[in-house]
Amino acid sequence: MASNMYAVKCLCCGRSAFEDFYYKTDEQYTFCMRCGYYYAKTIKKSTMDTIEYKEEKIGGHGIFILENKDGSREKVSLNRSLTNEQLKELKNALRGENVNGEKSYLVTYENGIFTILFGTRLKISICRLKNIVKRCLRSMGLLTMTL
Ligand SMILES: [Zn+2]
């Protein structure tokens, strides 16, 4: 089916989202890889004269991407804030043997703030932080070789 795909500003978080617009039917899908916002406008019912659409909006509270070593992917848009239990479950899933940790991530989006709970970017920022702490300690003469 004929469609145009382009980047739009996410209505939820303001970052760039993908939009897939089917110009023949006026159907539309929007998905944000940052906050997980998903919007779909699809035909519910159509007659010769009228078209009735249905709209669906989900996500916007973050995104969970789990990529396996074989390249298969699981993508979940978080529809509401995670409970501690759900969080534990997702983190356990990410520690699985077949998971590609470099390509998997879990990011929540609450009140305009992104929190990376799992993902390479988080590891990098922790590394940087450790280096900064080390540098500070060294400058104060407090760094020992065991640190
Ligand atoms: Zn977004």
Ligand 1: centre distance to CA 129 (Å): 27
Ligand 1: centre distance to CA 76 (Å): 14
Residue 3's pLDDT is 86
CA 64 – CA 32 distance, rounded (Å): 12
At 86, list the tokens.
Answer: 């759900």
Ligand 1: centre distance to CA 30 (Å): 10
Ligand 1: centre distance to CA 6 (Å): 15
Edge-to-edge strand list for the sheet holding 62-67 = 73-77, 62-67, 105-110, 113-118
Residue 72's pLDDT is 92
Ligand 1: centre distance to CA 110 (Å): 11
Strands 62-67, 51-58: pairing is unpaired
144 Cβ neighbours under 8 A, 6+ residues apart: none
* Digitized pLDDT (tens) for each residue of the chain, 147 residues in all: 578 888 999 999 999 899 999 999 999 999 998 899 999 999 999 999 999 999 999 899 999 989 999 999 988 889 888 888 988 898 899 988 999 988 898 999 998 999 888 886 545 455 555 565 666 556 655 544 433
Ligand 1: centre distance to CA 59 (Å): 9
Ligand 1: centre distance to CA 143 (Å): 42
Tell me how crowded residue 98 is: count the other CB atoms within 10 A of its CB: 10
Ligand 1: centre distance to CA 51 (Å): 29
Ligand 1: centre distance to CA 28 (Å): 16
Residue 144's pLDDT is 45
The closest alpha carbon to 62, from 87, 40, 96, belongs to 87
Residue 28's pLDDT is 95
Ligand 1: centre distance to CA 26 (Å): 22
CA 130 – CA 91 distance, rounded (Å): 23
Ligand 1: centre distance to CA 89 (Å): 23
The answer to whether 102 and 121 have CB atoms below 8 angstroms apart is no
CA 40 – CA 48 distance, rounded (Å): 23
Q: Is the pTM of this model over 0.75?
A: no
